[in-house]
C-alpha cells in the first residue's frame, strides 16, 4: 500500500492506494515547512489521519509539498512521516513537481500553481528544468490567494473598499481592531494562510467591478513578473493547478491569451491525476 499526498499551505489532499488499485481519499491540514516543524506535523497528522488507515501496511509515501525548497525543508516533513509510518519509505519533494506530473504526465510543457501561493515551471516530462522564483507571500506570490487577500485586507484597513464592500468585509470576517489584525499577521502562525482566506471574498463578490479588477490586475502581475520571463513561453500551453486559478479561470484564460498563450488544463486539485501518474509507473 502506498500513500500519495498533495500538500498545500492550507490543506493536504491524500490518497491511499492498495495493490488492487483501490483508492481512498482523505484530507488533513497543510504542512509548509516554512511555517511548521516536525513536532507540529506529527501532532496534526495524529489528530487528522483516518482511524481506518492501516499505518503499518504503508510501504511507501510520495509527499509533494508547498515550501519544500531544499533537502533540509523536505526532511522536516519526512521525519514526521517516518514517525507515523515506520515501515514506509518517505519521498518528499516540491508541490510544483506534483502540478507538472498531474497536468502534463510524462509530456513536456508549462505548469503553474495558483492557490494559497504561486509557483510555475517548465517541465521536460520527467523533471523541472526552469523555475522563476515566486519568492513567497512577502515578496511575491503574484496572482495567489495570499496576494489577493493582502490587497483586500489593505484596502479594508484603509477604508478604501467600494460599493458597500467595506461593511460586508467587516461583517464577514469580524477582524477586530487594527492592532488585532497586525498581531495576527506578525505574531501568530501561518500568516500566508490568514491572508489567503480573504480571497474567497473576491470570488463571492465577483459581480462587483472592484473585485473583478483586482483579480485581473493580480493575474496580469503574475504574467508580467513570472510567466513572461520564461524563454519561449508562448511555445507552451498554459496549464494550472489550484483553487484560485480554477475559481477565476475565465479571467486567467483572458490574461493568458492576451500574452499569446493558449490555455490547456486548469484544475482545482492535482490529486486524481497524480495518483494516475503513480499507477502507471
What is 240-279 written as a DSSP string?
Answer: EESHHHHHTHHHHHHHHHHTT--EEEEES-SHHHHHHHHH
* Mean pLDDT on 205-220: 94
pTM beyond 0.75, yes or no: yes
The residue among 135 and 281 whose pLDDT is bigger is 135
| Distance from C-alpha of 95 to C-alpha of 105, rounded to nearest angstrom | 14
pLDDT tier at 252, thresholds 50, 70, 90 = very high
pLDDT at residue 128 is higher than 90: yes
Q: What is the mean pLDDT of the chain?
A: 91
- Phi-psi sector, 260: left (phi>0), alpha (psi -120 to 50), beta: left
Averaged over 188-210, what is the pLDDT?
A: 89
- Work out the percent of the chain whose per-residue pLDDT is above 70: 100
CATH topology of domain 2-98: Nucleotidyltransferase; domain 5 (3.30.420)
Distance CA 212, CA 202 (A): 7
Taking 70 as the threshold, does the pLDDT of residue 36 lie above it? yes
Q: Please give the angle made by the CA atoms of 87, 42 and 77, to the nearest 5 degrees.
A: 75
Q: Would you list the domain boundaries of the chain?
A: 2-98
pLDDT of residue 281: 66
Q: How many CB atoms lie within 10 A of CB 38?
A: 18
What's the pLDDT at 20? 82
Gap between the Cα atoms of 35 and 46, Å rounded: 18
pLDDT at 247 over 90: yes
Task: Say which DSSP state 55 is in.
Answer: G
Residue 169, burial from CB neighbour count under 10 angstroms (0-12, 13-18, 19+) = buried
pLDDT number for residue 148: 95
Give the integer Cα–Cα distance in Å for 137 and 196. 10
pLDDT band at residue 218, thresholds of 50, 70 and 90?
very high
Say whether pLDDT at 257 is over 90.
yes
Q: Which residues fall within 8 angstroms of residue 179, CB to CB, at 6 or more apart?
A: none
Amino acid at each position: 500500500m502506498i500513500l500519495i499526498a498533495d500538500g498545500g499551505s492550507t490543506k493536504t489532499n491524500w490518497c491511499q492506494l492498495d495493490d488492487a488499485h483501490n483508492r481512498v481519499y482523505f484530507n488533513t491540514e497543510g504542512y509548509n515547512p516554512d511555517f511548521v516543524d516536525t513536532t507540529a506535523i506529527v501532532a496534526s497528522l495524529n489528530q487528522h489521519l483516518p482511524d481506518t488507515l492501516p499505518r503499518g501496511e504503508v510501504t511507501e509515501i510520495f509527499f509533494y509539498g508547498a515550501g519544500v525548497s531544499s533537502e533540509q525543508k523536505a526532511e522536516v516533513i519526512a521525519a514526521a512521516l517516518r514517525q507515523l509510518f515506520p515501515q514506509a519509505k518517505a519521498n518528499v519533494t516540491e508541490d510544483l513537481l506534483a502540478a507538472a506530473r498531474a497536468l502534463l504526465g510524462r509530456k513536456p510543457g508549462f505548469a503553474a500553481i495558483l492557490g494559497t501561493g504561486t509557483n510555475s515551471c517548465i517541465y521536460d516530462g520527467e523533471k523541472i528544468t526552469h523555475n522563476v522564483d515566486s519568492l513567497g507571500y512577502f515578496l511575491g506570490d503574484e496572482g495567489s490567494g495570499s496576494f489577493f487577500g493582502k490587497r483586500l485586507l489593505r484596502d479594508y484597513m484603509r477604508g478604501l473598499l467600494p460599493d458597500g464592500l467595506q461593511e460586508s468585509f467587516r461583517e464577514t470576517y469580524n477582524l477586530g481592531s487594527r492592532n488585532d489584525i497586525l498581531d495576527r499577521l506578525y505574531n501568530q502562525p501561518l500568516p500566508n494562510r490568514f491572508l489567503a482566506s480573504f480571497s474567497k471574498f473576491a470570488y463571492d463578490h465577483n459581480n462587483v467591478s472592484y473585485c473583478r479588477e483586482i483579480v485581473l490586475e493580480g493575474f496580469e502581475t503574475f504574467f508580467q513578473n513570472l510567466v513572461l520571463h520564461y524563454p519561449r513561453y508562448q511555445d507552451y500551453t498554459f496549464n494550472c493547478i489550484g483553487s484560485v486559478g480554477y475559481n477565476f479561470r475565465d479571467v486567467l484564460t483572458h490574461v493568458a491569451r492576451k500574452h499569446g498563450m493558449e490555455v490547456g488544463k486548469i484544475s482545482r486539485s492535482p490529486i486524481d491525476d497524480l495518483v494516475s501518474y503513480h499507477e502507471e509507473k
